[in-house]
């Protein structure tokens, strides 16, 4: 991984991150306007639209803490955003790697906006099977998860090319 090539630009990757933030915030605004916290509407036998608030991190980690975690997660996301932008500047020509980072950046910013505006993250997608339910999530969480998966794929492809 070398420095940014003269032909690559940071703007397309920031644009992708901005699209993620926009989609995330639009979907959350719809949920905030249409459902009370705790409401649930069945869409399919395995899928509900819900309104849930998460003051913690992934899988509600630290959700029961007294509120200090809000600022911890905002700070961590800010540091991560700076690091991701630095990585995008250096490696923007590596398309899959940069696309993955852009998704993660957009997701992190989307959830930070929630923490700053609402004190918690608005989650609304719930997948379940019979009585077992996966924790509710949102567009930002989805982008972060897809981005992480693409980072793994990128590394596997890089290792394979190196053989």
pLDDT of amino acid 1: 46
- Choose, from 24, 114, 123, 154, the residue flagged as catalytic: 123
- Report which listed range, 11-20, 49-58, 111-120, 126-135, is most confident: 11-20
Read off the pLDDT of residues 106-118 as tens digits, 9 standing for 90 and up: 999 999 999 899 8
Residue % of the chain over a pLDDT of 90: 67
- pLDDT-derived band at 163, boundaries 50, 70, 90: low
pLDDT of amino acid 90: 93
- pLDDT-derived band at 161, boundaries 50, 70, 90: confident
Residue 141 bears catalytic tag = yes
Rounded CA gap, 69 and 66, in Å?
Answer: 8
Residue 154 bears catalytic tag = no
pLDDT of amino acid 134: 83
- Report which listed range, 74-83, 96-105, 128-137, is most confident: 96-105
The domains of the chain are located at 11-162
Per-residue pLDDT averaged across 151-156, rounded?
96
In 3D space, the residue among 44, 56, 35 whose CA is nearest the CA of residue 114 turns out to be: 56
Rounded CA gap, 56 and 79, in Å?
Answer: 18
Quote the pTM value.
0.86
- Choose, from 24, 39, 114, 141, the residue flagged as catalytic: 141
- pLDDT-derived band at 15, boundaries 50, 70, 90: very high
For residue 46, give the 3-state DSSP assignment. coil
């Amino acid at each position: 991984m070398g420095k940014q090539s003269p032909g690559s630009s940071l703007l397309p990757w920031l644009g992708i991150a901005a699209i993620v933030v926009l989609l995330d915030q639009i979907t959350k605004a719809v949920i905030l306007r249409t459902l009370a916290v705790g409401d649930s509407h069945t869409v399919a036998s395995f899928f509900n639209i819900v309104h849930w608030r998460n003051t913690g991190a992934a899988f509600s980690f630290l959700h029961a803490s007294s509120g200090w975690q809000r600022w911890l997660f905002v700070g961590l996301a800010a540091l991560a955003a700076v690091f991701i932008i630095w990585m995008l500047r250096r490696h923007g020509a590596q398309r899959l790697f940069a696309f993955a980072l852009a998704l993660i950046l957009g997701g992190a910013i989307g959830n930070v906006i929630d923490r700053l505006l609402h004190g918690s993250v608005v989650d609304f997608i719930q997948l379940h099977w019979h009585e077992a339910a996966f924790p509710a999530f949102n567009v930002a969480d989805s982008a972060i998860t897809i981005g992480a998966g693409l980072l793994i794929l990128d590394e596997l492809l890089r290792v394979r090319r190196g053989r």
